[in-house]
Every structure is written in C-alpha cells, then in structure tokens.
Amino acid sequence: MSITGVRIIPSPLGKILLASGDGRSVCGLWFLGQRYFSRGMEETADTVDLPVFAETEEWLNRYFRGIDPGPVPELDPRGTPFQLEVWAAMREIPYGKTCGYGELAAILSQRQGNRRVSPRAVGSAVARNPISVLQPCHRVLAADGSLHGYAGGIWRKAALLAMEQGIPFQD
C-alpha cells in the first residue's frame, strides 16, 4: 500500500492512526494495535498535516460526542472487488442502525442479479475493513443480534454502537 502520510489522533477509545495514499482521501483508519492493523506504518510513513486528516479528526470529534457527524470525508478503500462492494454496502447502513451479515449478503446478492453471496464471505470482508468507524463495520451484527468479529475489539464495537444510541462512553 503506497502511503503519502499518516497522522495519529486521540480518541476516547484509544489512539487512531489515519493514513492517506493520495493526500486527498483516507485509505486507512485503525485503532493502534487492532487486528489487521498495518503494523509499522506509523514508523515508516511521514506524519503530515493534510486537510483530509483535519476533516476526519473533526468528523471523529463530532462522532465521539454522540452527534451524527454527517457525510464521511473522502475515502479511498483498497481491497478486492468483492471487499469494495461489501464496504460500499456497509457505508449505506445509517448512523444508529445495524444490519446482519446475512442481510448484507442478501443486499449484495440482489445487486448482483440474485447470485448467491455467502454471509461468511461478507463477514470476512467486513473483518478486513481498512477504514474503521468511517466504513461502519461496527454496525454489522450476527444473525441473533450479538456482537462478533470487530478487529478493534468487541468492547470498542459495543462502545461505538452505544454512542450512536446516545449512551456516552464510560472508561
């Protein structure tokens, strides 16, 4: 992954690493140390002040205050064509709402002319989301409504969902 720059910002749920490949959009947002995190990036890429980082930090500050922050900054997710489809569908899940892996698979199936899409394949793509929070993988739940598979930790997934319901994060 070619990276123009990175920036580490604080959040109530731990430090966040932002990455941009083109200087205009976000290609990565990870809680430091989360699963599938691009380890070492914070040491190998230059820390820079990019307008998209300032815009993203403002968006996240509103979000972590429990305010619907509106449209996300420009994104540049990098993945397979299937992952990109899944992530695009995830971005359509409204603030404060959730969707099951099976529901997401059914949406994708319909968009692909009723070609069968496996909820397990959807789960794999959701788990490898490189732009946490902005591509709201935390809003995707198991069929029974339980919390599974958040690379940043289930406790963060629960906290993000609670914040979207107006329940402030408690340390």
For the chain, list the strands marked E by DSSP: 5-9, 16-20, 28-31, 99-100, 140-141
- Can you give the pLDDT at residue 110? 92
- Can you give the pLDDT at residue 156? 93
List, for residues 44-87, the tens digit of each pLDDT value.
Answer: 556 788 999 999 999 999 999 988 999 999 999 999 999 999 99
- Can you give the pLDDT at residue 46? 62
Does domain 81-164 bear CATH number 1.10.10.10? yes
Domain boundaries, the chain: 5-64, 81-164
- Can you give the pLDDT at residue 138? 95
Q: What is the CATH number of domain 5-64?
A: 3.30.160
Q: How far is CA 89 from CA 9, 45, 76, 137, 169, in A?
A: 27, 30, 15, 10, 27
Task: Look up the pTM and report it.
Answer: 0.89
**Residue ranges of the chain with per-residue pLDDT less than 70:** 1, 36-46, 169, 171
Within this chain, domains 5-64 and 81-164 share the same CATH topology: no
Positions marked active-site:
137
- Can you give the pLDDT at residue 39? 52
